[in-house]
C-alpha cells in the first residue's frame, strides 16, 4: 500500500493560490491519486483525481511529475470557505482491499 505524507497544517489568505504537496514514494504503476476535502462534521468531498501530468476541473488542479512520487493540489484564489482538511489518497479502492485509507490530512486555514 502506498503511504502518503502531507503537511499537517497550512495557512493562507483570501485570494491567494494554495499548493498542497503530497509525497507517495511507493506508488504502484496502476495507482491513481485522489484528493478529498472535508469540512467539520461532514463527509469527505471528492475534489480531483489523476494519474500523471496535470488534471484540472472547476475547483482545483492536480500536478503530478513524471516519476509520480509526489503530487500537488492547487487551489486558485482561495476564500474563507476553503478552510477545511484536505486528504491525499493513493491507490485504487479495490487494490487496497476494498477500502480507502485516509492519513492525517492537511488542515488548511484561510484568513481574511
Partner 1 sequence: KAGVTQTPRYLIKTRGQQVTLSCSPISGHRSVSWYQQTPGQGLQFLFEYFSETQRNKGNFPGRFSGRQFSNSRSEMNVSTLELGDSALYLCASSLGLAGVTDTQYFGPGTRLTVL
Stretch that binds partner 1, among 2-10, 38-46, 55-63, 70-78 (CB under 8 A): 38-46
Distance of CA 36 to the CA centre of its chain: 6
**DSSP 8-state code for residue 77:** S
d(CA 41, CA 39): 6
The site string for partner 1 over 42-61 (x = CB under 8 A, - otherwise) reads xxxxx--x------------
Residue among 10, 12, 23, 32 that touches partner 1 (CB under 8 A): 32
Residue 81 binds partner 1 (CB under 8 A): no
Q: Which stretch binds partner 1 (CB under 8 A): 7-15, 18-26, 70-78, 95-103?
A: 95-103
Q: Is 104 in the site for partner 1 (CB under 8 A)?
A: yes
Which residue's CB is nearer to partner 1, number 10 or number 92?
92
Which one, of 91, 84, 80, lies nearest residue 20 by Cα? 84
Q: Strand (E) positions, 1-112?
A: 9-13, 18-23, 33-38, 45-50, 53-56, 61-64, 70-75, 84-90, 106-111
What residues make contact with partner 1 under the rule CB under 8 A?
30-32, 34, 36, 41-46, 49, 92-95, 97-104
Amino acid at each position: 500500500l502506498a503511504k502518503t505524507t502531507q503537511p499537517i497544517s497550512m495557512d493562507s489568505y483570501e485570494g491567494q493560490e494554495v499548493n498542497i504537496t503530497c509525497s507517495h514514494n511507493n506508488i504502484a504503476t496502476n495507482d491513481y491519486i485522489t484528493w478529498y476535502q472535508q469540512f467539520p462534521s461532514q463527509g469527505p468531498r471528492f475534489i480531483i483525481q489523476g494519474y500523471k501530468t496535470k488534471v484540472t476541473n472547476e475547483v482545483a488542479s492536480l500536478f503530478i511529475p513524471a516519476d509520480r512520487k509526489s503530487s500537488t493540489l492547487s487551489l486558485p484564489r482561495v476564500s474563507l470557505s476553503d478552510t477545511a482538511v484536505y486528504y491525499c489518497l493513493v491507490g485504487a479502492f479495490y487494490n487496497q482491499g476494498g477500502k480507502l485509507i485516509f492519513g492525517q490530512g492537511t488542515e488548511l486555514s484561510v484568513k481574511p
